[in-house]
Amino acid sequence: MAAQRHMLVVAHTGRDDALSAAMTVCHQLASAGLTPVVAADQAQDFRSHFEGDLHLLGEDVALSDIELTIVLGGDGTILGAAELTRGSRAPLLGINHGHVGFLAESEKDDLSWTVQQALAGEYDVEERLALDVTVVRDGVEVFRSFALNEAAMEKASRARMIEVALEVDGRPISAFGADGVVMATPTGSTAYSFSAGGPIVWPGVEALLMVPLSAHALFARPLVVGPDSVMAVELLERSSAHAILWCDGRRSIDISPGSRVQASRSAEPIRLARLHPGPFTDRLVSKFSLPVTGWRGPEE
């Protein structure tokens, strides 16, 4: 007897189109003999729209038994799904119901086909580097989390800069006043880091980024360091302002002067299901609507 298959469905329940698409996915999974699995905090929204059986993650089905997570929403929803399924080897398959949707693998018009591919196992799995993030205060670790996109330390008060010192592999780089510092992965290079003037790093490149935010300094350029480097930002004792640390814009902690934020490569990458094996260049052009009219390509 074949083992029962379990797929988790996560949706942006605040968007009618994403929730409606999630119901379509649930019906398609049920028609294939699977009972859709949902998170406990989304169960009420799902049950008010779906008449079939649902399993609850963590109650009816263990996280370790999830084969695939189908995510309907934008990049924020996919980041939330990555948080929900942290520790699982089940890949995330994003169907874009947001704006840019850089992490999504397909668009909402391809919904039925996407689920068919998922049921058939017709996808590749791509591992993306993630960050382990810690905060140390007075020699004591007070916070630990992870980030797929970035760990961003920002000033808590709009009126005041923070004083920070940057460090790589235990050695100081520079100290200055700024609005903050972003420590990012290649995946996050098209997110907050990009908006702050950082470089776009292809996902296949193993590297980490440090990007100052509105720094008052002559040397405050974005840095690209090795994947095994340890990055750190200290909120200096002389800083008159507090800061706040955000991991992927979802998990946060207040940072007081004298605290240290450290980010390094996580031993647990994030796994993404890929249906389209095309180059990242094409995804970049498509998602940012880059002007390529007139390009003729290499001569044959």
Q: What angle do CA 293, 299, 300 make, to 5 degrees?
A: 125
- Do 51 and 111 have their domain in common? yes
Written as six digits, the tokens of 215 are 């720094």
For residue 225, being part of any structural domain is answered with yes
Tell me the CATH number at 22.
Answer: 3.40.50.10330
Active-site residue flag, 75: yes
For residue 150, being part of any structural domain is answered with yes
- Do 11 and 96 have their domain in common? yes
Mean pLDDT of 8-14: 96
pLDDT tens by residue, 269-279: 999 999 988 89
pLDDT tens by residue, 231-285: 999 999 998 889 999 999 999 999 999 999 999 999 999 999 999 888 999 989 9
Of 96, 99, 82, which is closest to residue 39 (Cα–Cα)? 82
- Do 164 and 86 have their domain in common? no
- Do 149 and 114 have their domain in common? no
- Do 23 and 147 have their domain in common? no
For residue 295, being part of any structural domain is answered with no
Tell me the CATH number at 259.
Answer: 2.60.200.30
For residue 146, being part of any structural domain is answered with yes
For residue 278, being part of any structural domain is answered with yes
Give yes or no for a contact between 284 and 203, defined as CB atoms under 8 angstroms apart: no
For residue 1, being part of any structural domain is answered with no
- Do 183 and 123 have their domain in common? no
- Do 18 and 123 have their domain in common? yes
Q: Give yes or no for residue 149 having a pLDDT over 80.
A: yes
pLDDT tens by residue, 54-105: 999 999 999 999 999 999 999 999 999 999 999 999 999 999 997 778 899 9
For residue 297, being part of any structural domain is answered with no
Cα–Cα distances (Å) from 93 to 145, 153, 175, 196, 274, in that order, read: 23, 29, 41, 28, 7
For residue 188, being part of any structural domain is answered with yes
Number of domains in the chain: 2
| Structural domain harbouring 215 | 131-265
Among the listed residues 75, 132, 138, 228, the single catalytic one is 75
Q: How confident is the model at residue 108 (pLDDT cuts 50, 70, 90)?
A: confident
